[in-house]
Amino acid sequence: MPTFNAENLQSNMKVVYYCRTFMSIIGGVIAGICGFTGLMGFVVYVLVMAITSVCLTARAGFSIHSYFDSWNRVLLDGFLGGLLSFVLFWTFAYDIVHIF
């Protein structure tokens, strides 16, 4: 088991958190502009988070254990954290484009 520097691990987790939050906002705006409602909007969120996980893994060179202590840190941590931001921007963009 490799030894991790706590500061580097914390910095890496911040990057994952910011990426997920940013992609949640972008995904929410896209879902709102495209007019997705109901369950289809949440499917968009799951797809955006899956793509984000793959991109973060690719950015790490598919060598997750060099930067994080487990795969869960990249693939699952923060998966639900961006959901509120997604719903906020999804409804906001939907209202602006399709209602007003």
Residue 3 has pLDDT above 80, yes or no: no
- Record the pTM: 0.89
- pLDDT tens track for 12-71: 999 999 999 999 999 999 999 999 999 999 999 999 999 999 999 999 898 888 888 888
In DSSP notation, the chain reads: -----HHHHHHHHHHHHHHHHHHHHHHHHHHHHHT--THHHHHHHHHHHHHHHHHHHHHTTT-GGGTSSSTHHHHTTTTTTTHHHHHHHHHHHHIIIII-
